[in-house]
Structure 1
């Protein structure tokens, strides 16, 4: 993969702040003309630095105010067990993020639901029944202080 330079990094930073920015405005902000800026964006996409574009949504306006982080410990960490967990966890709509962790537990999940009652249901019916789950520990978010892109 080709290396990125400071202009590429500026392009990436600006697109992370506002993916709907016009190419003309983006070019102006990074010190390029429109065509070279478009070419750099295309190259960054083709090389996998930019993997997609998305809309940031205020989840609380959709009634999804409850956020919990869940530590998951597995009873088996063989490659096959990890793959089974990964596949099953990725299918749960309420799981916004799933990270394999090096430390005292195996995974950290960010789970978003309407309220504590719906979280309890997700925990009991979905998370606890994932392949190879030995134990879960839940940490409920009291206030969202900073989230990238917001």
Structure 2
């Protein structure tokens, strides 16, 4: 008995022949996402714009809102977890943003000089000079209260 030879199906022919019907379809540049949210920062221009907002002192949610993407911070932090370069860039931008917010806050309260109790309490500056100044001020108040006899004894 002779073995049965099956003819290739049409779909097999398209795969086997270069330039066949399968190559006629345009290839997608980016694979289509089936589930989940579409990426918010979908290009280097958008990422640079976002990082510029964050470095200027805006929070992540405020920066997304200014770009018209104020849905959730989760996609940003997912991108940070998946892309180490973005993680480094985001950390640098957030560091610059914190400094920008601190400068803006200190400009509002110009009376709070560095190295004073006021700077320690209002600006939340925890440098050695401000901490020492706050400690000295507390000690003076406690000594004054003890001398007056107004200290709270438990």
TM-score, L = length of structure 2: 0.28
Normalising by structure 1, we get a TM-score of 0.28
Greater RCO, CA 8 A, separation 6+: 1
Q: Which has the higher helix share?
A: 2
Could you say which structure has the larger radius of gyration? 2
